[in-house]
Homo-oligomer: A and B are copies of this chain.
């Protein structure tokens, strides 16, 4: 009899996937087409005390914000407009009421930006605090963003900087490191960690791209490298990433040095940007609309390798280490 820890998250998911229809899972959310012009998109996340958050680094208000943001980001990653979320909360009886109210204040503050209603949920007793959020939205099935539709020649496009959230966490865990940065640099990193913004603002520009243009993609919640790998794996393609186009935040370099900062950029996670694959002309259009932190970082290739190259130094090529992504258990 094997334990969950022994087979790992991926091993467990593989065994359980037989209970799900094959055609509706594998993306940030599930798509259910109930109408030829409108599909329902559903996504679920569970956050557990001392696994995904901790009172030592995160206020309950920020826990709420981040939980809501992560789920809205999954909808954005599918190209879906949010309809609502539900919250299933498990709490020990001795939890402070103020903690719970702050949590909901954070959820509410994030939802209000978009605006998305909290439409109910469930509260129950448990020894461990956990938050299960389900978000649902709708998308024109023709315009859904999938991980599986990247095609060789597509530009690989990111909607913003990466590594900032990991930098913010570093500052919160090691407050003495703040001295390396001025207050604006500190604030930028900490805000990226505590108050990430799901990129639902991108949907407005995606709507201007003709529906016959397939857009592949997902969000970078588990890291930029993980997103590139997932898209390549699901689409049966590879990628060449141009090292020079991966911009590092200057505060991040000051905090951690260039080598560490690049590692956080690729593997840090929780930046909640979108990673999209689409024809270069439309990627350029998005870059123009989204401003300087958005970037075309590479190209989708036929062969299934994922490489990072430095044009100024062609000897300095490396294959992306795809095993560093976050795995539970």
Interface residues on A, range: 35 or more
A119–B30 CB distance below 8 A: yes
CB-contact partner of A46 in B12, B13, B52, B132, under 8 A: B132
* A113-133 vs B, Cβ < 8 Å mask (1 yes, 0 no): 000011111111111101010
- The segment from A85-93, A186-194, A223-231 found at the interface with B is A85-93
Q: What chain B residues lie within 8 Å of A40 (beta carbons)?
A: 40, 83, 136
Q: What chain B residues lie within 8 Å of A42 (beta carbons)?
A: 84, 86, 119-120, 134, 136
A107–B4 CB distance below 8 A: no
Q: What chain B residues lie within 8 Å of A128 (beta carbons)?
A: 90, 126-128, 130
In the assembled complex, A279 has its CB within 8 A of some CB on chain B: no
Q: Distance in Å from the Cβ of A51 to the closest Cβ of chain B?
A: 5
Q: What chain B residues lie within 8 Å of A105 (beta carbons)?
A: 19
Q: Distance in Å from the Cβ of A319 to the closest Cβ of chain B?
A: 29
In the assembled complex, A184 has its CB within 8 A of some CB on chain B: no
- The segment from A96-104, A202-210, A287-295, A305-313 found at the interface with B is A96-104
B90–A46 CB distance below 8 A: yes
Interchain CA distance A30-B83 in the complex, whole Å: 12
CB-contact partner of A83 in B13, B25, B32, B44, under 8 A: B32
In the assembled complex, A198 has its CB within 8 A of some CB on chain B: no
CB-contact partner of A88 in B6, B88, B126, under 8 A: B88
B5–A93 CB distance below 8 A: yes
Closest to A28 in B: B120
In the assembled complex, A314 has its CB within 8 A of some CB on chain B: no
Q: What chain B residues lie within 8 Å of A263 (beta carbons)?
A: none
